[in-house]
Amino acid sequence: MALKKDHFTYRVTWSEDDNEYVGLCAEFHSLSWLAKTPESALKGIRDVIADVVKDMKANNELIPEPIAVKHYSGKFMVRVPPEVHRTLAMKAAEAGVSLNRLASSKLSQ
């Protein structure tokens, strides 16, 4: 069974511990599906999510909003120790850029 509008974020990776591929869904981080092929792992996790969403709807539970359709402001606050703040501010000044631009550059690497 597949969801009609499945906009959730999936990933397939190799699990050395299980010696199989594991399908994951970012919005449902506690769920996974093991399979011998990456294609089967993806199909398996998508089927699991479809079943879970169906069950959640039946029980009037809140379904996570897919990351792909969320709107982001582009702003978030990060707390760092004062020493780190000072060091980053000096690096930004030395580079002739704002602290925001320096941090954004480092985070996007």
Model pLDDT for residues 59-82, shown as the tens digit of each residue: 999 999 999 999 999 999 999 999
- pLDDT(1) > 80: no
Handedness of CA 15, 44, 52, 64 (dihedral sign): positive
Q: From CA 21, how far away is CA 36, in angstroms rounded?
A: 6
Q: Domain ranges in the chain?
A: 10-68, 72-107
Reported pTM = 0.74
> What percent of the chain is modeled with pLDDT above 70?
99
